Amino acid sequence: MSVQPVAQPGLTVEDVMARINPWYWLPPRAVDIELSLKQIGITLRSGLTLLSALKTVAEQTQVMRLQRTWRIVSDRIQGGASFHQALSEHRCFPPLVVQLVRVGEETGSLDVVVERAASSMEHRRLLQMQILTALTYPAIVLVASIGVTAFMLLKVIPQLKKFLSALGRKLPPTTQALIDISTWLQVNGLYIICGLFATIAVAYLIYASPVGRAWVDRRMLRVPLVGKVLRLAGTASFSNAMGLLLRSGITLLDALRAVEQLHRNRHLAGVVATAREQVLRGDSLARSLPMRGAYMPLLNRMVAVGEEGGTLDDVLHEVSQFHEAQLQIAIRRLSSLVEPAIIVFVGGIVGFVYISFFLALFAAGGASR
């Protein structure tokens, strides 16, 4: 008698088939959540109930993991949980979104608040894309040039060496130096690769530890040019998120807690955590934020003005706009400096290889001695 497999309780045939698909296990991207929140805001503004909006967005999204997430959220709400409580059980939703949804439920303006949360995620995504776009082209040029140079050193130059040795020609000094480098790489290539992997593994372990990541993130903020870009991005992200949370009615302490979890830079997150503790003891936010080494100095002065005038949310919005403009200028400046530097560096290496190669060809043909 054959034994029939027992289905797991609570799983339908569709769930089992979906989990067989490898795409199911991919976590939803921030842009997918952003689009879903926009759809929820639009459907709520159209007069649909929250459960109907969740059902609609679950049917329309193409990400299977996100479909199931929205269905779980809908089931939790039907079971008596609030919307923000159901969202907080899933790590894919940022704390800022959860806090905004909580305020929207309390004030009865859930449609407006959900759209604000989507706009905040879009704003953060565009800031990250600006930084990545500025660094993508130089990285591609560097990797491609290293690949071409390695091919010349490990494949072409050894064959040229055999050809010239058979002719008994004396090699030019640059070609001989290039051949020596190629020979050294062939002899020690395995050790170099093992050392590279070991270095990457050690660096990963250091960055994976809380202390190591905080140390690396703090040092990254001090790197010339790159550090300024990161500080501008952190300042713009902090001021935009804080202004949005305060304008939505969230208390200062809750806003600081949400922004702390929003920062990917652990040093900036630690700065926000320390500031929250000092605010909890009675200090002002302006005195709690450090003047150097983290956010841009203008943030402290403007926060002090906003606290004195009672318009902290509006001031933070203006600070965000100012630093976003400065960030775009800094990114363009970084690109204008990094791209020529990489082109000159890589061009020098490739040029040396090609000059040595052609000098060897001339030596083989008897054009040079």
Average pLDDT over residues 19-37: 72
* pLDDT score, position 318: 85
For 200-207, the CB contacts below 8 A with 24+ separation are none
Residues 6+ apart with CB under 8 A from 60: 39
CB-CB contact of 205 with 92 (8 Å):
no
Q: Output b/e per residue, 214-234; b: 16+ Cβ within 10 A.
A: bebbbeebeeeebebbbbbbb
Whether the CB-CB separation of 71 and 59 falls below 8 Å is answered with no
| Residue-level pLDDT at 19 | 56
H or E element at residue 21: none
pLDDT score at 182: 76
Please report the pLDDT score of residue 18 as a whole number: 52
Q: Say yes or no to pLDDT of 3 above 60.
A: no
Residues 228 and 341: their CA atoms lie apart, in Å, by 18
- pLDDT tens, position by position, 166-215: 666 666 777 777 777 777 877 787 888 888 899 888 888 888 888 888 88
d(CA 22, CA 106): 39
Predicted confidence (pLDDT) per residue in 134-158, tens digit: 767 777 777 777 777 777 777 777 7
Per DSSP, the three-state class of 41 is helix
Does residue 368 surpass a pLDDT of 80? no
Q: Tell me if 362 sits within 8 A of 368, measured CB to CB.
A: yes
pLDDT value for 26: 66
Q: What is the pLDDT of residue 7?
A: 39
Q: Phi and psi at residue 223, in whole multiples of 5°?
A: -70, 135
Q: Quote the CA–CA distance of 129 and 288 in Å, as a whole number.
A: 30
Asked if the model's pLDDT at residue 8 lies above 50, the reply is: no
Q: How many CB atoms lie within 10 A of CB 171?
A: 19
pTM for this one? 0.68
pLDDT computed for residue 5 by the predictor: 40
Q: What is the pLDDT of residue 17?
A: 53
> What is the Cα–Cα distance from 82 to 145, expressed in whole angstroms?
55
Q: What string of H, E and C letters represents the secondary structure of 261-306? A: HHCCCHHHHHHHHHHHHHHHCCCCHHHHCCCCCCCCHHHHHHHHHH
**How would you class 110 by CB atoms within 10 Å of its CB: exposed for 0-12, middle for 13-18, buried for 19 or more?**
buried
Mean local confidence (pLDDT), 249-272: 82
- Say if CB 263 and CB 234 are below 8 A apart: yes
Cβ atoms < 10 Å from Cβ of 143: 11
Q: Which domains does the chain have, with CATH numbers?
A: 13-93 (no CATH), 125-369 (1.20.81.30)
80-97 pLDDT, tens digit per residue, is: 888 888 888 888 888 778
Helix 210-220 vs helix 226-247: angle between axes, to the nearest 10 degrees? Answer: 110
When comparing pLDDT for 11 and 321, which is higher? 321
Query: How much is the CA Rg of the chain, to the nearest whole Å?
Result: 29
